[in-house]
Amino acid sequence: MSGFANEVSSSPLSFWSYFMDHRSADLQLLWSHTWLSVVPVVLGLVIALPLGWLSNRFSWSYPPIMTVSGLLYTIPSIALFVLIPPLLHLDQLSELQVPIALTVYSVALLVRVVADGLGSVSEDTRQAATAIGFTPLARLLKVDLPIAVPVITAGLRVAVVSNVSIVAIAGTIGFQNLGNLFTTGYQLSSGTSPYYPPIVLGLVLCVILALALDALVILAGRGLTPWRRAARG
């Protein structure tokens, strides 16, 4: 590996040729990075929906739920990665510890967003829906949640992008994702001559991935809210 490194330029801008030389390995890293960024957000949303509903429905539960979720988010990611296996009786290097940690972060972010999104439904609309004869569940699914979509979408964008960066941290402790490129770059550097290409490649791919996922969330949000564009137009 190090002999190979000597043959190519160590300039930051030669990340492209580094990528072409290690294409299949790098794409593998990108792919697992993508999954690790997306799946926990989806799981996080599924868990945050009932919690957010609860804290919106029963106002006494809002402050404690928000405090706990805020505290969860302040736990440093490395600490959480390390804490999860003993807490959940998993292997020290279980495949699950990173997705679980990321799901915790996603829940922490999304609970507030779901609660505030449901809270954004106007009192008039709420009242009309009830008076018209929606059952509570039907009202939640057909009125409250659809109207909450713009607020929830805004939260999903933050969650998915922050996950892309937290996943990279998991890469530095040995999990397979774009974070490995940083470790590789660090290992290939020697004292006075840093080796930039894999580090820059990791950065570029992370940014591209974050932008792409963000765009997907925006598109999905737009698809679900044709009424917002009509209102502006």
Partner 1 sequence: MIRFDNVTKRYPDGTVAVDSLDLTAETGKITVFVGPSGCGKTTSLRMINRMIEPTQGSIWLDDRDTSTIATHELRRRIGYVIQHAGLFPHRTIVDNVATVPLLLGTDRKKARSDAMDLLERVGLDRGFAKRYPAQLSGGQQQRVGVARALAADPPVMLMDEPFSAVDPVVREQLQDEFLRLQDDLGKTIVFVTHDIDEAIKLGDRIAVLRVGGHLAQLATPADLLARPADAFVAGFVGRDRGYRALGFSEGHELPHHEEPTVRMGETAPAASEAAEWLLAVDGEAHPQGWINVEQTAGREVTEELLYRGGTLATQGGSLRAALDACLSSPSGRGVVVDENHRLLGSAQLDEVVQLIKSEPGPAGADGDTGTGTGTQGTSGATAAVLQKGPA
What residues make contact with partner 1 under the rule CB under 8 A? 122, 124-135, 138, 143, 146-147, 225, 227, 230-231
Question: How near is the Cβ of 132 to partner 1 at its closest, in Å?
Answer: 6
Closest to partner 1 by CB, 3 vs 133, is: 133
Q: How far is CA 120 from CA 73, 158, 168, in A?
A: 24, 19, 34
Closest to partner 1 by CB, 152 vs 168, is: 152
Torsion on CA atoms 19, 25, 27, 31, rounded to nearest 10:
-150
Number of H helices, E strands in the chain: 12, 0
Question: How near is the Cβ of 221 to partner 1 at its closest, in Å?
Answer: 13
Strand partners, 193: 190
Beta-carbon count within 10 A of 173 CB: 15
Question: How near is the Cβ of 155 to partner 1 at its closest, in Å?
Answer: 18
Q: Are the CB atoms for 56 and 115 separated by under 8 Å?
A: yes
Question: How near is the Cβ of 137 to partner 1 at its closest, in Å?
Answer: 11
Closest to partner 1 by CB, 12 vs 150, is: 150
Closest to partner 1 by CB, 147 vs 181, is: 147
Closest to partner 1 by CB, 143 vs 201, is: 143
Question: How near is the Cβ of 72 to partner 1 at its closest, in Å?
Answer: 31
Q: Are the CB atoms for 37 and 103 separated by under 8 Å?
A: no
